[in-house]
A and B are shown apart, each in its own frame.
Chain A
Amino acid sequence: QVQLVESGGGLVKPGGSLRLSCAASGFTFSDYYMSWIRQAPGKGLEWVAHITNSGSKIYYADSLKGRFIISRDNAKNSLYLQMNSLRAEDTAVYYCARYLITSFGIVRDASDIWGQGTMVTVSS
């Protein structure tokens, strides 16, 4: 079935780095734009970044630009988020999510499939 599974979360010290992965299955990964979205404990959803299906275009939330890098490997059906210079305020559940493609084949800027999330805790 259509599935996204994140991994790579954990406890990291301030200033450290972490690389998240998202394994896709059950659909043609290379057809889909993908996003990372995070949610701090007890808080709302915050968009982090997204990448087009070919990887040719990438967009980041302004507050994260320069510290986080989104990438993908279509041959491995995988999405990645390299997180550097981590801060306490980066503590959150990180979700990968697939852009919606309608039944008419139109890409929409919404996510119809989400992973279960991976927890990142930044603390000394």
Chain B
Amino acid sequence: SYVLTQPPSVSVAPGQTARITCGGNHIGRKSVHWYQQKPGQAPVLVVYDDSDRPPGIPERFSASNSGSTATLTISGVEAGDEADFYCQVWDSSSDHWVFGGGTKLTVL
């Protein structure tokens, strides 16, 4: 089955740029979606189809996908961005959704 690999944690100072990676075999050939989940809350879609933002998501959230790595970039990180972030793809070979293990973003 398809596997997505994320770093368990990323730390960044306020105002800096956070980059969260999501690795997978030829992931650049798939559409990658990103979710933000704050403690005790449901996930929120922040990026879909590699780099599109749903309405209401700040431009500070951007993403890219190429080769074997997709990357979510958060510019000008704020304390309120602290959360768990998950990448997700549709694995057409199995007709399954696959989530990465999640990355905890800590704002120092």
List A residues at the B interface (Cβ < 8 Å): 35, 37, 44-47, 50, 59, 61-62, 95, 100, 102, 108-112, 114-117
Contacts and interface: CB of A to CB of B under 8 A. Distances in A.
Q: Give the 3 A-B residue pairs with the shortest CB-CB distance, closest first.
A: A47-B97, A109-B90, A110-B33
Given A108-B48, A110-B45, A115-B42, A100 B97 contact: no
B48 A47 contact: no
Contact of A112 (B1, B54, B94, B97): B54
Main secondary structure of the interface of B (DSSP, over half): strand
Given A44-B86, A45-B35, A45-B86, A112 B99 contact: no
Interface of B: 1, 31, 33, 35, 37, 42-45, 48-49, 52, 54, 84, 86, 88-90, 94-102
Nearest to B41: A116
Contact of B42 (A47, A50, A95): A95
Given A59-B96, A62-B1, A44 B101 contact: yes
Given A44-B102, A45-B43, A45-B102, A110 B95 contact: no
Contacts of A37: 97
A58 to B, nearest CB: 10
Given A45-B102, A95-B42, A117-B42, A109 B31 contact: yes
A81 to B, nearest CB: 15
B96 A62 contact: yes
Contacts of B90: 109
Contact of A108 (B1, B31, B98, B99): B31
